[in-house]
Amino acid sequence: MKPGFAVDIDNVLALSEQEVQRIYHELTGELWPGELYASAGGLDGSVIDRKLIEKIFDYFHECSIPTLPVVPGASLALHHLQQQFRIVIITARRPSTRPQTEEWLHRHEFPFDELHLTGDKTDVAEGLVFAVDDHPEHVQNYVSRGIKVFLMDQPWNRCFSASGVTRVSNWEQLLQTFQ
């Protein structure tokens, strides 16, 4: 069995940030507060009312997933990585979103060997040696398991650093580390 490469979806494969901000605007009539970030990297610990956060996530999970654009270079990068690694997509999306998540991945021609929808990303797949994620909590959990992590640079993770973590700005930069 090939070694595993764990890959997050939102803000790593899919451009999700603007959609969450759009949903916030639609629900509140207000622009997104500039000091916060919309993804799990910002909403989880934000001061926004929990009920509003749940409404945002409800809308995102029920309606937005099929419309999300792809992060440039992501599909091509996974095709390259799949030559050496088992691609294990692990997302914190709700398990109920599996059908639309699978459809989105297939429509955008992402190769993958496994798909897991779970909050605890480190306990679902065996043999992981690398991971790419944008959320500091998930990154820290991977590192604590001895998994080398690529941190996809985002505003909400810029204060985070840890041994065993390589910050990358895009998929091309990530692939360059394997050359």
Ordered structural domains, the chain, with CATH: 4-14+69-176 (3.40.50.1000), 17-67 (no CATH)
C-beta separation of 10 from 35 below 8 A: no
Question: Please, which residues bridge with residue 131 across strands?
Answer: 6, 149
Instruction: Supply the mean pLDDT for the chain.
Output: 91
Whether residue 5 is predicted with pLDDT greater than 90 in this model: the reply is yes
Whether residue 101 is predicted with pLDDT greater than 90 in this model: the reply is yes
pTM over 0.75: yes
Of the pLDDT bands very low, low, confident and very high (cuts 50, 70, 90), residue 39 is low
Give me the residue label for tokens 């992501």.
Answer: 74
Whether residue 34 is predicted with pLDDT greater than 70 in this model: the reply is no
Which of 33-37, 46-50, 120-124 shows the lowest per-residue confidence on average (mean pLDDT)?
33-37
Mean pLDDT of 171-178: 95
Per cent of the chain over pLDDT 70 is 93
In residues, how long is the chain? 179
Mean pLDDT of 40-69: 83
Whether residue 87 is predicted with pLDDT greater than 90 in this model: the reply is yes
Q: Among 113, 105, 126, 51, which residue's Cα sits nearest to residue 87?
A: 113
